[in-house]
Amino acid sequence: MAATGGILCSAIVLFSCSKSGSSPNPGGGTGTDPDATLVNLGANIIIPSYQSLATSTVALDAAVTGFYASPAAGTLATAQAAFKSAYKAWEACSGFEFGPAADASLTTHFTNSFPTDTVTIKNNIGGASYAIDGLGNFAAQGFPALDWLLFGNGNDATLVRFTTDSHAAGAKAYLTALSASLKTKVATVNTAWSATGGNYLAKFEKASGVDAGSSLSLLLNAYVLDFDVNLQNYKIGIPIGLYGPSVLPKAPAKVEGYFSALSVQLLVAQVQSIQNIYLGGSGSGIDDKIVASKVLYNGGSLNDAIKNQIGVVLTKMQALPDPLSTGIQNNATTITDAYTEIRKLTVLLKVDMPSALGIKISFQDDDGD
Binding residues for other proteins, rule: CB under 8 A, are 1, 3-4, 7-8, 11-12, 15-16, 19, 21-22, 24-25, 28-31, 35, 208-212, 228-229, 233, 237, 241-248, 292-293, 295-298, 302, 343-344, 346-348, 350-352, 354-369
User: In a 10 Å sphere around its CB, with 0-12 CB exposed, 13-18 middle and 19+ buried, how is residue 355 labelled?
Assistant: middle
Task: Write the single-letter amino acid at 368.
Answer: G
Select from 207, 227, 223 the least CA-distant residue to 215: 207
For residue 297, give the H/E element and its range: strand 296-297
Measured from the CB atom, the residue of 268 and 292 that comes closer to other proteins is: 292
Measured from the CB atom, the residue of 156 and 366 that comes closer to other proteins is: 366
Min dist CB 11 to other proteins, Å, is 8
Min dist CB 22 to other proteins, Å, is 5
Measured from the CB atom, the residue of 89 and 224 that comes closer to other proteins is: 224
Question: Hey, what's the torsion of the CAs at 211, 213, 216, 218, to 10 degrees?
Answer: 130
Measured from the CB atom, the residue of 34 and 281 that comes closer to other proteins is: 34
Distance of CA 166 to the CA centre of its chain: 37
Min dist CB 220 to other proteins, Å, is 12
| β-strand partners of 301 | 296
Min dist CB 351 to other proteins, Å, is 4
Measured from the CB atom, the residue of 25 and 331 that comes closer to other proteins is: 25
User: In a 10 Å sphere around its CB, with 0-12 CB exposed, 13-18 middle and 19+ buried, how is residue 89 labelled?
Assistant: buried
For residues 92 and 95, give the distance between their C-alpha atoms in angstroms, rounded to a whole number: 7
Give the C-alpha distances (Å, rounded to integers) separating 163 from 36, 146, 336.
54, 17, 42
Measured from the CB atom, the residue of 62 and 312 that comes closer to other proteins is: 312
